[in-house]
Amino acid sequence: MADLRNYQTRVANADTRADAAIDQGLRAYMLKVYNLMAIGLVITGLAALGTVMLATTNDPAAAVATLGNGKMLTSLGVALYGSPLKWVVMLAPLGMVFFLSARIGSMSTSAAQTTFWVFAGLMGLSLSSIFLVYTSASIVQTFFVTAAAFGALSIYGYSTRRDLTAMGSFLIMGVFGIIIAMVVNIFLQSSALQFAISAIGVLVFAGLTAYDTQKIKEMYWEGDDTLVAGRKAIMGALTLYLDFINLFSFLLSFLGNRE
Parse the chain into domains and list their residue ranges: 31-255
pLDDT per residue over 31-63, tens digit each? 999 999 999 999 999 999 999 999 999 999 888
Is the confidence at residue 15, as pLDDT, over 50? Answer: no
Torsion angles phi and psi, residue 65, rounded to 5: -150, 155
Is the confidence at residue 12, as pLDDT, over 50? Answer: no
Looking at residue 44, its pLDDT comes to: 97
pLDDT per residue over 101-144, tens digit each? 888 988 999 999 999 999 999 999 999 999 999 999 999 999 99
Is the confidence at residue 3, as pLDDT, over 80? Answer: no
pLDDT per residue over 58-71, tens digit each? 999 888 999 988 88
Is the confidence at residue 4, as pLDDT, over 50? Answer: no
**Average confidence (pLDDT) over 179-202:** 91
- Interior CA angle at 139 toward 143 and 97, to 5°? 65
Looking at residue 68, its pLDDT comes to: 84
118-156 burial string, b = 16+ CB within 10 Å, else e?
bbbbbbbbbbbbbbbbbeeebbebbbebbeebbeebbee
Looking at residue 101, its pLDDT comes to: 87
Distance from chain centroid for Cα 88: 20
pTM above 0.85, yes or no: yes
